[in-house]
Structure 1
């Protein structure tokens, strides 16, 4: 199916919240990694989210260009074409974009969607994240409110973050003193500032999340924080104000912690570190196994089939798709696609 339109994307998110499952949101950096996500989702019969970070987008434009907007547009246009061959819906999203990169990344993509809509074409992206977590909450929400107002007119969904995800991703590092836990007071302020605008938004509330590579059990999460935040906003504004939450920094999380977070309203879980490894592992295995083939050792010619990138990238795509399928299962998403309903 084509990339999910606004109505379909909203149905996806609402259905996930009602049934306590979540969509894997997988970061991609190339056509091959995007294809891996589509493959894994389709084989799981689950809709999902393909997302592109600022660094991933810059890489996708080529090392000589490093244009974030260009790279994101290139991948998105491919997904629009390729997704039509799969029996699922997929949303397109841009990951962490801090305030100093809005003008170079998110806003040019919003402008591209606005041009497409004026020409009668579907949105390029489905949603965008503004990461104002490094700012005071008031300033964070001032920028978010302006973005949500603009997004509303183009049927775009906004994702914001209150609190800070620890660790580092794409060069964005949280300080050791960062506020790693969102409070009920924070979320009440989010609801107060944004709900009156009327657009759709997702909230990345933090509960000890850390970006990076960790062994299972190393990351100490407190999913109960999400329940406290939901209870506060429902108590103040009613059940309709319940947040659609996003889980960042999930590497190293225990399955029971993931499932508990789903019970408290997480509908989207970002996955990057684990799928990066899944993609790279078979490439490393191929290189070690076919050492004499991928290298022209001692003046020999090597084995063209061994060093043809299609050989090992096909292995990488399949392995990454497998990790996507595992994510779907962990998030209770198997067989939940809206396709042909």
Structure 2
């Protein structure tokens, strides 16, 4: 089985009003869990690796592991570079076989964001790779870059329309009140803004920082036009919580499989839970 361009998965979601879960790979167990959970739910799947993980796990390693694990699976899968801030990282991901990349120039000035994004789109589209970009800035820390809440900037709907028309991106990540990392309070999402952006753009939208957002708010975000939802923190917490429980039960445990296996099982259950919320179960083709 080959990887699918992310555009294919998101266009189906856009046309049929659901969202595809995009889950960050942190190690082999996470990768196995995401694929197993999605297949059990018969759901399309976006696997992603953030730029900061590249030195830890390696793009080629992720690509080859993914290829081996999805070989006999029956669901559509895209492999995506999350928050690519450097052109070199994006090209490396494309060369490694990724079917989708994100160019995140959201902290740049509007025109510079457009120029950087256009450059990536031209290269990626020439080889059939999908492109996600971001407009507006999301609070929190991602890949070592921190945006204070006071400096976060919501996506302007009119600017979003201009941005998409000038860049030709396949999906747009929007800032409507979510944050990266662990929330200190209840996030308040601007659904009216989200709805306006969707009406103007009529294309797949992406919600970053979804860990910690309530189930009901996630469902509402999908209702108003989100078609890709990024999760990471929720899954790291689920895996770590289960591993801690294993060591609490037996501090002398040293066999890696004894605690990584249950950690993987916790991620499988969390994957199925999120897929159900997003409405993508039984949407695999």
TM-score (norm 1): 0.80
CA contact (8 A) 1:29 1:57 kept: no
**Distance in 2 between residues matched to 1:87 and 1:230, nearest whole Å:** 31
Q: How does 1:234-313 map to 2 (within 5 A)?
A: 242-291=202-251, 294=252, 306-313=253-260
The correspondence for 1:145, drawn from 101, 118, 128, is 118
- Structure 2: gaps spanning 5 or more residues: none
The correspondence for 2:276, drawn from 329, 332, 335, is 329
CA contact (8 A) 1:181 1:208 kept: yes
Q: Secondary structure at the match of 2:47?
A: strand
For residues 286-341 of structure 1, the C-alpha deviation after alignment (integer angstroms, 9 at most, x for no partner) is 111002xx2xxxxxxxxxxx311011111111111110111101101111111xxx
- What is the aligned partner in structure 2 of residue 107 from structure 1? 91
- Structure 1: gaps spanning 5 or more residues: 61-70, 114-123, 234-241, 295-305
CA contact (8 A) 1:97 1:131 kept: yes
The correspondence for 1:218, drawn from 176, 186, 189, is 186
Greater RCO between the two (CA within 8 Å, min separation 6)? 2
1:203 aligns with 2:172: yes
- What is the aligned partner in structure 2 of residue 90 from structure 1? 77
TM-superposed CA distance for 1:227, in Å, is: 1.2
For residues 84-124 of structure 1, the C-alpha deviation after alignment (integer angstroms, 9 at most, x for no partner) is 132212110011122xx332x212222x25xxxxxxxxxx1
Runs of 4+ in structure 1 deviating by more than 6 angstroms, as ranges, are none
Structure having the higher Rg: 1
- What is the aligned partner in structure 1 of residue 2 from structure 2? 2
TM-score (norm 2): 0.95
Task: Tell me the matched-pair count.
Answer: 285
CA-based RMSD of the aligned residues comes to 1.6
**Distance in 2 between residues matched to 1:323 and 1:193, nearest whole Å:** 38
CA contact (8 A) 1:2 1:81 kept: no
Which structure carries more strand by proportion? 2
